[in-house]
Chain A
Amino acid sequence: MSGRIIRVVLPAHLRTLAKVSGEVQLTVDGPVTQRSVLDALEARYPTLQGTIRDHVTKERRPFVRFFACEEDLSHESLDAPLPDAVASGAEPYLVVGAIAGG
Chain B
Amino acid sequence: MSKVRVLVGTRKGAFVLESDGKRQKWDVSGPHFAGWELYHVKGSPADPNRLYASQCSGWFGQLIQRSNDGGKTWEPMDNKFVYDGVPGTHKWYDGTPHPWEFKRVWHLEPALTDPDTVYAGVEDAALFRTTDGGKSWQELPGMRGHGTGSGWQPGAGGLGLHTIILDPKDPKRIFIAISAAGAFRSEDAGATWKAINRGLRSEYIPDPDADVGHCVHHMAMHPSRPGVLFMQKHWDVLRSDNAGDLWKEVNGNLPDDAGKRGFGFVIDVHAHEPETIYVVPIKSDSQHFPHEGKLRVFRSRTGGNDWEPLTKGLPQSDCYVNVLRDAMAVDSLDSCGVYFGTTGGQVYASADAGDSWNPIVRDLPAVLSVEVQTLA
Contacts and interface: CB of A to CB of B under 8 A. Distances in A.
B58 A63 contact: yes
Main secondary structure of the interface of B (DSSP, over half): loop
A51 B60 contact: yes
A66 to B, nearest CB: 13
Q: Which of B58, B59, B63, B79: most chain A CB closer than 10 A?
A: B59
B85 to A, nearest CB: 13
Interface residues of A, number: 17
B67 to A, nearest CB: 15
Interface in B252-311: none
Given A13-B35, A13-B36, A100 B80 contact: no
Contact of A100 (B35, B59, B63, B79): B59
B82 A51 contact: no
Nearest to B35: A13
Main secondary structure of the interface of A (DSSP, over half): loop
B104 to A, nearest CB: 12
B63 A51 contact: yes
A52 B63 CA distance: 12
B277 to A, nearest CB: 39
Interface string B24-54: 0000000000011000000000000000000
19 contacts: A13-B57, A13-B60, A14-B60, A17-B63, A17-B76, A49-B79, A49-B80, A50-B62, A50-B80, A51-B61, A55-B79, A55-B82, A61-B61, A63-B58, A63-B59, A64-B60, A97-B60, A98-B59, A100-B58
Ordered nearest first, which 7 A-B pairs have the shortest CB separation?
A51-B60, A63-B59, A97-B59, A47-B76, A55-B80, A50-B79, A50-B61
Interface of B: 35-36, 57-63, 76, 79-80, 82
